[in-house]
């Protein structure tokens, strides 16, 4: 991504999704530490370049009223009592904590758009390009790319600031699936493009 024209700073936002204790904590320590170090550098670089950072966090109310008995995908969350609003596990990890004034959007589903006001926030800021980072690639990142592409956002995915528990799924998504609708780069390429 040597082409800096892909990033119009006043129309671009970094969207960091699901970097929460209960989610990131499920990765091996070495993977987690490398992921968080890269993500922290990207956020610092974006902020210095004047690009807004928007956080998306998945959180459920006590008792999980948002998760139906038919919801096979989220049954494990309910059973393990993870991601409850107000708990440490639902908080964003300290390494990439939001800065004062940065928006944190709470979602109730996998994707960042369907149960949130994210699109309204982006429109109010005049954003047309999203730089996506998230855990997991097969969950929030894939969902974000599909939805955002359908509503005409330009998309950049920072592959090494995304993670999935299945290495092969990560590879297929970042090398074959996501490039159909997004420019896929690594963190160094993105930071270089910002100068």
Domains within the chain, CATH numbers bracketed? 4-193 (3.40.50.850)
User: Which structure tokens are listed for 10?
Assistant: 């006043």
Closest CA relative to residue 16, chosen from 29, 62, 8, 45 = 45
CA of 177: how far to CAs of 159, 180, 183, 189, in Å? Answer: 12, 6, 11, 20
Contacts 24+ apart (CB under 8 A), 120-127: 121/54, 122/13, 122/54, 122/153, 125/13, 125/52, 126/10, 126/11, 127/11, 127/12, 127/13, 127/52, 127/153
pLDDT one-digit tens code per residue, 15-27 = 999 999 999 999 9
Over residues 127-151, mean pLDDT: 97
- Answer whether residue 3 shows pLDDT above 70: no
pLDDT at 5: 58
User: Which structure tokens are listed for 86?
Assistant: 């107000």
pLDDT: which is higher, 1 or 158 = 158
In whole angstroms, what separates CA 33 from the centre of its chain?
A: 17
pLDDT at 126: 97
Closest CA relative to residue 174, chosen from 113, 164, 165 = 164
Distance CA 124, CA 102 (A): 14
Predicted TM-score (pTM) of the model is: 0.94
Collect all residues with Cβ–Cβ distance below 8 Å to 100 and sequence separation of at least 6: none
Distance CA 59, CA 26 (A): 16
Distance CA 157, CA 15 (A): 10
User: Which structure tokens are listed for 23?
Assistant: 């989610």
Q: Are 85 and 135 in contact (CB under 8 A)?
A: no
> What does the DSSP 8-state code read for residue 48?
H
Q: What is the percent of the chain where pLDDT is above 70?
A: 97
Distance CA 137, CA 134 (A): 6
Residue 6: pLDDT band by 50, 70, 90 thresholds?
low
Distance CA 15, CA 122 (A): 10
pLDDT one-digit tens code per residue, 164-180 = 999 999 999 999 999 99
| Cis upstream peptide for 136 (omega within 30°) | yes
Backbone angles phi, psi at 52, to 5 degrees: -65, 145
């Amino acid at each position: 991504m040597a082409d800096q024209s892909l990033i119009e700073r006043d129309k671009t936002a970094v969207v960091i999704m699901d970097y929460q204790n209960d989610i990131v904590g499920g990765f091996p320590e070495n993977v987690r530490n490398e992921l968080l170090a890269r993500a922290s550098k990207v956020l610092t670089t974006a902020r210095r370049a004047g690009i807004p950072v928007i956080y998306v966090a998945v959180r459920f109310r006590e008792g999980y009223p948002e998760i139906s008995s038919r919801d096979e995908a989220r049954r494990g969350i309910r059973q393990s009592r993870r991601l409850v609003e107000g708990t440490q596990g639902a908080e964003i990890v300290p390494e990439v904590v939001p800065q004062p004034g940065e928006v944190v959007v709470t979602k109730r589903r996998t994707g960042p758009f369907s149960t949130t006001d994210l699109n309204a926030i982006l429109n109010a800021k005049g954003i047309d390009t999203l730089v996506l980072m998230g855990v997991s690639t097969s969950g929030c990142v894939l969902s974000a790319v599909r939805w955002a592409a359908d509503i005409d956002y330009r998309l950049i995915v920072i592959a090494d600031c995304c993670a999935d528990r299945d290495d092969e799924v990560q590879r297929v998504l970042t090398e074959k699936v996501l490039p159909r609708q997004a420019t896929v780069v690594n963190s160094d390429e993105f930071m270089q493009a910002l100068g």
